[in-house]
Amino acid sequence: MTDAAPVMAPNPYRVRSRVVESPDSATLCLEPLGEVLRAPQPGEFMMLYAFGVGEAAISISGDPTVTDGSITHTVRAVGAVSRALHDAQPGSVIGVRGPFGTTWGLAEAAGRDLVMVAGGVGLCPLRPAILGALAQRDRYGKVTLVVGARSQADFVFAAQLEKWSHDPQIELHLIVDAKTPGWAGEVGLVTEPLGRLALDTERTTAFLCGPEPMLRFGAEALLTKGIAARDIRVSLERNMQCGVAMCGHCQLGPLLLCRDGPVVGYDVAGPLLRVKEL
């Protein structure tokens, strides 16, 4: 317990800025008040503590090329802790631990085509990988991003998606579950644009993040097209409470996702996700 004490103690970070992304999501940029934690890599997460309320695991959503010591998270308000974090205003203080977990493996994907698939706020953990790939665009082949949301209003980073839609360096597909006034784009599931993609199956790496049904159906669509399971990486969510593989709350079969995830190859994750109620 003595060795674990430092990593369990939150470091104070101040909210530098807050941007509302969607009706239930907001992006917080946090700056250190004391110790500067290691810069997180795309795919990793931090444990954020809302003082007097509790702690939650929140993925990184910021630009990995930023080196000023700040960290950026996009928080969806779904419970007491995430609501308190979501509502934090500039100047307020949040406790931060980490970073923890596995990465998307951008370095290992160098020289390959990238297909990134996001469902809803699943775009938030993928955003650092997208920005990282675009910042070193010559290291990768074709970069394709498929983003699904419940409706047009539910897309996070709407301004950045608009910018990417005109950027020749990335192929963007947007799709919504339900058409609303003003939406002229595609309606349906992310598997539909995925099914139309022309992929070089021998040199494509895929990153998927979103609800588990989307992960399963999206990964299976890619498998059907010939992408190897080991070349498909998914970000999994479970109830993480310690972040250091001590409490067991985030267990998924033989995995502890705070240590072995959240990003896991589909060759490992696929069989586990097929087990009901695991």
pLDDT of residue 5: 55
Residue 5 in any domain: the answer is no
Is 247 annotated for ligand binding?
A: yes
Q: Which of 238, 206, 204 is nearest to 219 (CA)?
A: 206
CA distance 137 to 218: 25
Range of the domain at 223: 106-273
Domain boundary among the residues 100, 131, 154 is at 100
| Exposure string over 210-248, b if 16+ CB within 10 A, otherwise e | beeebbbbbbbbbbebebbbebbbbbbbbebbbbbbeee
Q: Which of 95, 74, 73 is nearest to 24 (CA)?
A: 74
Using a 10 angstrom Cβ sphere, with 0-12 exposed, 13-18 middle and 19 or more buried, the burial of residue 6 is: exposed
Main-chain dihedrals φ then ψ at residue 196, nearest 5 degrees? -90, -10
pLDDT of residue 4: 54
Domain boundary among the residues 100, 121, 145 is at 100
Torsion of CA 60, 64, 68, 72, to 10 degrees: -20
Percent of the chain with pLDDT over 70: 98
Contact between residue 48 and residue 85 where contact means Cβ atoms under 8 Å apart: yes
Is 29 annotated for ligand binding?
A: no
Residue 278 in any domain: the answer is no
Contact between residue 123 and residue 209 where contact means Cβ atoms under 8 Å apart: yes
Same domain, 113 and 84: no
Q: pTM score, two decimals?
A: 0.95
Residue 67 in any domain: the answer is yes
Q: What CATH number did the domain enclosing 17 receive?
A: 2.40.30.10
Number of domains into which the chain is organized:
2
Classify residue 36 by its DSSP letter: -
3-state secondary structure of 264: strand
- Residues lower than pLDDT 70 in the chain: 1-6
pLDDT in tens, 41-96: 999 999 999 999 999 999 999 999 999 999 999 999 999 999 999 999 999 999 99
Q: What CATH number did the domain enclosing 212 receive?
A: 3.40.50.80
Contact between residue 80 and residue 69 where contact means Cβ atoms under 8 Å apart: no
pLDDT of residue 239: 81
Is 258 annotated for ligand binding?
A: yes
Q: Which of 82, 112, 90, 97 is nearest to 44 (CA)?
A: 97
Same domain, 137 and 66: no
pLDDT of residue 163: 97
Query: Which residues does residue 232 pair with via DSSP β-bridges, in sequence order?
Result: 206
From the centroid of its chain, how far is CA 139?
A: 21
Using a 10 angstrom Cβ sphere, with 0-12 exposed, 13-18 middle and 19 or more buried, the burial of residue 166 is: exposed
pLDDT of residue 2: 39
Same domain, 176 and 196: yes
Count of alpha carbons within 13 Å of 99, Cβ hemisphere only?
A: 23
pLDDT of residue 1: 37
Strand ranges, E, within the chain: 11-22, 25-32, 45-50, 54-59, 71-76, 93-100, 113-119, 143-149, 171-176, 186-187, 204-209, 232-235, 251-252, 255-256, 263-265
